[in-house]
Each structure stands twice: as C-alpha cells, then as structure tokens.
Structure 1
Amino acid sequence: MKFWFRHIKLLLLSLCTLILVAACNSNTPQLQSRETPENIASDCRVIQHDGGEINICGQPQKVVALSPPLLDILLSLGVQPAGYAEVDLLNTKVFDNPSQQIRFLGDRITTQPVNLGDRHNPSLETLVQLKPDLILGEKFQLETNYKLFSSIAPTAFFDTGGKTGWKFAMEAIAQGLNREEQAKQAIASHNQLVKTVKSQLAPVISGQTIIVLGWQQFVKESFIFAPDFITGLLEDLGFQVIVGEVDRPNISIEAVANIKTDHILVMPTGDNTIENAKHQWQNDPILRLIPAVQAGKIYFLDYQLTRIRGPIVAEIFINQIRQLLQP
C-alpha cells in the first residue's frame, strides 16, 4: 500500500508541476531545447552536455545552479546565480546572507539567490515560480529530473567529478553564456597556480606519498578517497597519491595503520568535525603511533571542499596545502 501511495504522490507532483509550467509559458524566454541548423539564429549557441545538447539564444539573465560545483563555475565566469540548491537544507526562502550561509563561495555572491532546497531534491515549485532562463545541474540529477526541469527552462547537466571535470563543464557553460574569455582566463589562472605551487613545494613533496581519508565519527565507516577532484589536485602538485576503490569501502583503524605513506590528509565527513577528528587521532593508541603522525605530517581540511569541485575551491585547496607544507 505504501508503495502505491508513494508513486501516486510522485505522479501528482509531476502533473502539478506541468500545470504550473503551462501557466507560466507565456513568460518563458525563447530558449529552445533543440533546433535544426537552418533555424538557429546568429545569436544562438548549441552547447553539449551529458543529456545531449541545448540551444541557447540571447543572453540568459536568470541562471540557476543546482549544486555547489555549478555555483563555483558560474561565479568564476562572473555570473551571479538567480537560484541555488545547497548540500544541506536551509530553512529560508532566499540566501539573504550568502557569505555566512554558503561556505567557501558565499563571499563572492553579491545578490540574494532564491533557495531551491537540497541539491538531491530541488524544489520544482520554486523553480517554476522563479522562471529561470537556464538550469544547470550535475549528471547524477539527469535520470530523474531532466524532463521535468526541461519543461521549466533549458537544462544542462554536467559530470563535474574527476580530475578535470569542471574544466569541460566550464567551457560548455561559458559558450552558452557568452563567457568564453572568462573561462579561458579561469583555466589559465588555475594552471599557473598549480605550476607555481608545485615548484614552491617540490623540496617538500617531490616523490612523497599521501593518502586522503574521509573520516567518520564512527571510525569503522571511514574510507580512502578514490581518484577524484582532491586527489587529482594533489597529483598535480607532485604527490604520489595512494587511492582507494571507487565504491569507497569502509576501512578499519588497523588497516589505516598498515598503509605506508609519508603524509596523511584527513577530511572529516558526515557529522564529524575537524576538531573531533583531531581528538580521535590524538587519543587513539594505534593512530597516534603511525609514522606520518609522529612526524607531524598529518593534516585536517574541510570535507565541503570535495563537494564543490570548481576553480574557486581548487584555488582555496591549493593555497591551504601550500600553507600547511610551505618549507
């Protein structure tokens, strides 16, 4: 009975959304999802994304970001978001104090974007009311939300994961927003920063190994980072990164202690905090005897950095590593 009730509820939600979209259609900007080459005007751009391609005409004024990586990219391109979906649900209609409400990126927001809810479950009703010109999301949102979001406004989903995912997403988004030059500058600045910091830290980390740990309050639920945005940045800086499996299996304290590594980066996840994680490592009789710990080569950074995955946070992360390791 619960199964059918849940599906009926979802169906009703979809129908209500489509009705709202139809009611707002007269005010929806003329940005089409697909066009033939013959019909594409001179001020239109076709951009590729993980859901196919969309045609963007004119200059979108209301652009929404359905996750932190897309917000990072928009801000890097000099575009302020009209709406935003965060990692944690915030009980407010707008981000009226973004520097305090949106970690690492909020101090670059000069407006008060509409709160679209949780990135895993953004509010369709709020999106309809906002009437955006362009919706930007991540690939994981594609399967469940693409048709509904596309009925509201042109929608593009991107895989921002991996070492360079944000660069491909940025180039495509920049094309759609007429911001190609800003994208080139952002990527060039990132590459130059990596080159500079790698040279500065070479005496300290050249040939050195490092492991990145997602660290839970319940240690048995902790894991080794698989190849991703953070491990890619560490590789770029010259580290030899010890990586785990993609599905992030849990690892025991004993297993961590048996890993031979020169450096350890701990990123507290879940409900854990940096302060609590430090306490765990200082007081556990096994962890504190690990050679890297005894040598003072253990570091603690905010896990939120791994969720954002864009050029702004890449710069923040690299500068934090430089500060921790500066010879």
Structure 2
Amino acid sequence: MTQISAKLVKELRDRTGLGMMECKKALQETDGDVEMAIDNLRKSGQAKAAKKAGNIAADGAIIIAQKDGKALMLEVNCQTDFVAKDANFTAFAEKVAEIALENNTTDVAALADMPYGDGQTVEEARVTLVQKIGENIQVRRAETIEGANLASYRHGLRIGVVVSYEGGNEETGKSLAMHIAAFNPVAIDDTDVPADILAREKDIIEAKARESGKPDNIVEKMIEGGLRKYLEEVTLLRQQYVMDNDKKVGDVLKADGVKVLSFKRLEVGEGIEKKQEDFAAEVAAAQAAAK
C-alpha cells in the first residue's frame, strides 16, 4: 500500500472539505491518486445524497442576484437554520443564483446540468455539499423580474423581495420592498388579484354570512363588506403603509409620483410541510431500543 503523506491528505481535504480520516482512507484506496479519490468521493457522495433526499428540507435561504436591469431570486433549501447560516451553504447558494442569472433561467432542472466550476455541474456540486454537510440540500425554485428601476430587500435569510417601479428614487424602492416583505400582498391592486383566489375567498365569506341566518339582502351586504376588507388586506395599494400606518400605500405612491409595475416575494419553505419533531417520543423510542 502506498504511503499517504500529510500533504496529500491536506490537498484532498482542502479540495473537498471532508474530514482528515475520510480523505486519508480515500487516498489509500486509490494509491495516492487525488483525482481518482475525488471521483470516488463524488460517487459515494451521490449515495449519501440519495439517502438524505427523503429528509424534509424546509429551511434554507433566499438569494437575490441582480445585473443589468434584471434580478433573480433563488430558494435553496436545507433541513436546519444552522446549516442555512453555514458559509459553505451560502457560497453554494450565491454561486448557483449567479449561474441562473447569467444563463437567464428559472428552470431548476436545466440549472442542475449547468457548469458550476472545478469540473462539476451544479448537481454534482450540490451532491458534494450534501456529503460534506450531512443534510438534504435542494435548489427549489427561481423567479426573475426585469425593469429600469429595481429595488430588492432581503429580510434575514428567509424572505426576499424585488420590486419594479417608475418614479421616486432608490429610497422609495427600498421602502416598497420592505413593505412587501412585511405585509405580503398578493397583488398590486384589485384587478390583479387572481380570479381563483378571489372566488375562493368569496365562497368562505358567503358561507360564514349565511350561517348568521340573516335575510338575503343583509347577507349580500356582509359579503360585499367581507370582500372589501379582504382586498384591503391583500392588495398592495390598499394596505396601510409600513412606514406610516396612518396612510395607504396607494396614497403615498400617488403623492410621490410612483407607480409599481410588478413585484415578487419569496419566503423559505412556502408550501412545504415541515416535520414536527416529538423529542419525548424519540427519547422513549431510543430507551426502548437500548433495552
């Protein structure tokens, strides 16, 4: 068996980020061939990644990349907020966002096959990161928005917003993005609310109104009032402005000569059912298994 030097182990460790003993073992299996060891570790990493793939990844980060009048928001998921703050995870997510922006794609399947660097595709880099960190990591979705004036805002790691607007200045745009992050509107104004969302809300309001047993004419007024209140809550221009609760967003923008053209908001884990841990049950199960 070839004697494996500390220098070789360090080189492999620097290039893969794996533990010293795992690197030494990989080098022993390849008689000191670093490139072959990396290939083998990638293969074993794919196996480990496959085992992790069933784990729910509902944490993570929203990354915003912006260039030449175009912005891209990318959601990359992991299993814990601890990993979401890890420098290796962040570096991977930021690089993938830049790759998606440069290639003008929001198709995460196509993105997976794109060059990442160091002879790897994005997918191969993801698998390597899963092996290194030990959690399921997934590139979940991407959204783009274009415009002459773009403002972006990220609230911590979990919420990202980009707004396209006319008029005003950078401060106006930043305040708008912050408002959208906080109040989560579904549309700019009444006409932009998706018909299916509005119909579903009307059904709910009507069902509650009819339960009151009041006459039909009163029920109709209750439905109208309920829909009006709903639109005030979910349309950007009707919402109370986060910077001044005495004013509506629409009134503030009108006074400043600002028009919102479009916006997008992403929040980590939207639509993902996160596993609820029952630690007491886990401890009991572990104790039972140990007997």
The TM-score normalised by the length of structure 1 is 0.28
- Identify, as 1 or 2, the structure richer in strand: 2
Tell me which structure has the larger Cα radius of gyration.
Answer: 2
